[in-house]
């Protein structure tokens, strides 16, 4: 007999937590990354609908997402999101294991650094700031290689750690929704 835990049943009127996302400013050079995403788990079926809903309104309708399976235990083939279905695929050798690729039929593609869900807030803030920095030209794996492994003790204070490359502050407000720019970029 199948048992469903009451904790797993969504409650009406309870909204999911805000998507933890940082994007490059509108009009910035593309570079290798368009920003960063910090999911709360490694469950793509649970995490991708909220991300897609946010980006559908900011960029364009997301139609396909690809990941590298290295850090994702289960990769669903399709994800239902508001108003449509997003196809999910994977590339092992061809795609950086720390990157999520989002595709749209109308506006091209976007590449996001995926910050491990188990990362601390200061680490995630540093990575989000670096990935969203318009002057960043690093790959996702290069940015991740510069960080200590999850669970390692943090140095300094969170406020200081939240400063990005070049001393700018992180575009990610810990614990609060982020106001995202609406980039009008043709790719």
More confident residue, 185 or 88: 88
Q: Within a domain: residue 33? A: yes
Structural contact between residues 121 and 174, judged by C-beta atoms closer than 8 angstroms: yes
Report the Cα–Cα distance between both ends of the chain, in Å, rounded. 51
CA 136 – CA 123 distance, rounded (Å): 17
pLDDT of residue 50: 93
pLDDT of residue 14: 57
Q: Within a domain: residue 123? A: yes
The count of structural domains within the chain is 1
**Banded pLDDT at 95 (limits 50, 70, 90):** very high
For 53, the domain range is 18-147
Q: Within a domain: residue 45? A: yes
Q: Within a domain: residue 34? A: yes
Q: Within a domain: residue 71? A: yes
Give the global pTM: 0.72
**Residue 2 DSSP code:** -
CA 144 – CA 17 distance, rounded (Å): 25
If DSSP codes are grouped into helix, strand and coil, which group holds residue 42?
Answer: coil
Q: Within a domain: residue 8? A: no
Q: Within a domain: residue 129? A: yes
- Whether 140 shows a pLDDT value over 90: the answer reads yes
As beta bridge partners, residue 163 has 169
Q: Within a domain: residue 165? A: no
CA 3 – CA 18 distance, rounded (Å): 29
Q: How far is the CA of 154 from the CAs of 85, 122, 157, 180, in angstroms? A: 40, 8, 8, 28
**Banded pLDDT at 59 (limits 50, 70, 90):** confident
CA 12 – CA 140 distance, rounded (Å): 37
**Residue 163 DSSP code:** B
pLDDT of residue 106: 79
């Amino acid at each position: 007999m199948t048992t469903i835990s009451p904790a797993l049943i969504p409650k009406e009127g309870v909204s999911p937590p805000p998507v933890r996302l940082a994007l490059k400013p509108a009009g910035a050079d593309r570079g290798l990354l368009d920003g960063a995403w910090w999911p709360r788990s490694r469950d793509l079926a649970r995490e991708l609908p909220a991300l897609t809903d946010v980006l559908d309104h900011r960029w364009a309708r997301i139609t396909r997402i690809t990941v590298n399976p290295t850090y994702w235990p289960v990769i669903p083939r399709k994800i239902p999101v508001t108003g449509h279905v997003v196809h999910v695929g994977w590339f092992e050798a061809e795609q950086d294991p720390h990157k999520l690729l989002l595709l749209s039929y109308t506006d091209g593609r976007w590449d996001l650094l995926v910050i491990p869900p188990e990362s601390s807030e200061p680490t995630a803030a540093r990575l989000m700031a670096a990935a969203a920095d318009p002057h960043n030209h690093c790959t996702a794996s290069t940015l991740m290689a510069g960080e200590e492994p999850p669970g390692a003790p943090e140095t300094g204070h969170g406020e200081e750690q939240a400063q990005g490359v070049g001393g700018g502050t992180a575009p990610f407000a810990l614990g609060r929704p982020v106001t995202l720019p609406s980039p009008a970029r043709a790719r």
